[in-house]
């Protein structure tokens, strides 16, 4: 386990506006998902629900290194990535409610958020399935000589799948601009890393394909930012893939269906001492980039936005029965 403590390691102080934006994004993810969990217990949200709570520093730290024209792909634990990418909380919640005003007309739900306008291509439910898509998107950009990269988030569980190795091999072989970001939260569903990977130094799996690889403390927002900025800059400069491992931890169970019998509660509590949100908040307070009043104002703003998302989703409509076959079968054109 990474070194304990609640203080974030600091480099150069951030600009106040950026610092508060980053904290706001982490708070938004946390409160949005806490409310989603509440709505799930009330059966307002059905199906599967995988929470990102505890891993917020990864999405926020990596996403700030990306540009609007870059492609982004995520796993089924993608609410945090979607929110930071700029997808609207209201529309995300409507999608999770299964309402037609959601990003996929309520058909995708929690695991399949998608917004082509923001180049957010999922939300993918098949473990490791989207890595090949990331390579394809990057190859297209290379062929079209577009100066942009593709960022692909995935868990360490995906690295035990054949698709991971196929994607890494082709990315290295074709030299395409992909930033592979492994969110290593130590448990693939209910199986610990040590039981699924003979080599637990995950960076070596990128290096084995000749891909530049690095690891970072995924609970430290500023460390993630620094590593992501270096990684993204390298991809843009070289046009080659880069493999970044963010060592993090999810505070909640794998999904809302998970009884979580595979890890000790003391372990979870120990990791919670490294919660990235209070850690970063304390740093900003110490550096006088944030006052207690500012923190309270951010909390109030986030809580209001999350409640607005709930109100919006509650007011949205179900897809009419006669529309259910739409997009399912091709329509013959005469």
Domain contains 3: no
Residues 6+ apart with CB under 8 A from 88: none
Write out 234-278 in H/E/C secondary structure.
Answer: HHHHHCCCEEEEEECCCCCCCCCCCCCCCCCHHHHHHHHCCCHHH
Cα–Cα distances in Å, from 236 out to 52, 54, 179? Answer: 28, 29, 10
Predicted pLDDT at 6: 38
pLDDT recorded at residue 324: 83
Single pTM value for the model: 0.93
Q: Is 2 contained in some domain?
A: no
pLDDT value of residue 4 = 37
Note whether residue 172 is domain-resident: yes
- What CA–CA distance (Å, rounded) separates 334 from 331? 10
Q: Is residue 330 part of a domain?
A: no
Question: Is 8 a domain residue?
Answer: no
Q: CA 306, CA 181: separation in Å to the nearest integer?
A: 28
DSSP-based three-state secondary structure for 189: coil
pLDDT of residue 334: 58
| Helix ranges restricted to H, 54-198 | 56-63, 79-85, 89-96, 129-143, 162-174, 193-196
Q: Is residue 324 part of a domain?
A: no
Q: Are 111 and 77 in contact (CB under 8 A)?
A: no
Length of the chain: 334
Residue segments in the chain with a per-residue pLDDT below the cut of 50 = 1-10
CB 175 within 8 A of CB 240: yes
CATH at 297 = 3.40.50.970
* 260 within domain boundaries: yes
Spatial strand order of the sheet with 178-184 comes to 71-73, 150-155, 178-184, 242-247, 212-217
The total domain count for the chain is: 1
Which residue segment(s) compose the domain that 198 sits in? 16-314
Question: Does 6 reside within a domain?
Answer: no
């Amino acid at each position: 386990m990474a070194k304990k403590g609640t203080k974030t390691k600091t480099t150069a102080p951030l600009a106040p506006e950026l610092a508060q934006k980053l904290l706001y994004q982490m708070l938004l993810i946390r409160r949005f998902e806490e409310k989603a969990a509440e709505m799930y217990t009330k059966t307002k949200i059905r199906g599967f629900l995988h929470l990102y709570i505890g891993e917020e520093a990864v999405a926020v730290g990596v996403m700030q290194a990306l540009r609007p024209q870059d492609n982004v792909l995520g796993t089924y634990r993608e609410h945090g990535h979607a929110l930071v990418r700029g997808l609207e909380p209201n529309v995300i919640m409507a999608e999770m409610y299964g309402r037609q005003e959601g990003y996929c007309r309520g058909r995708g739900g929690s695991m399949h958020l998608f917004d082509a306008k923001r180049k957010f291509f999922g939300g993918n439910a098949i473990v490791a399935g989207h890595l090949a898509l990331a390579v394809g998107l990057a190859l297209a950009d290379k062929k079209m000589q577009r100066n942009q990269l593709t960022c692909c988030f995935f868990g360490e569980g995906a690295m035990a799948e054949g698709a991971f190795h196929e994607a890494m091999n082709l990315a290295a072989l074709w030299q395409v601009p992909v930033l592979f970001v492994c969110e290593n939260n130590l448990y693939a569903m209910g199986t610990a890393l040590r039981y699924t990977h003979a080599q637990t130094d995950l960076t070596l799996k990128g290096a084995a394909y000749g891909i530049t690889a690095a690891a970072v403390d995924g609970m430290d927002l500023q460390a993630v930012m620094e590593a992501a900025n270096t990684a993204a800059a390298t991809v843009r400069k070289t046009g080659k893939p880069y493999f970044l491992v963010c060592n993090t931890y999810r505070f909640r169970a794998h999904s809302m269906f998970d009884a979580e019998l595979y890890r000790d509660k003391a372990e979870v509590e120990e990791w919670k001492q490294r919660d990235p949100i209070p850690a970063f908040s304390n740093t900003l307070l110490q550096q006088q980039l944030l006052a207690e009043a500012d923190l309270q104002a951010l909390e109030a703003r986030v809580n209001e936005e999350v409640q607005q998302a709930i109100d919006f989703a509650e007011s949205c409509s179900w897809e009419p029965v006669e529309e259910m076959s739409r997009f399912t079968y091709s329509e013959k054109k005469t």
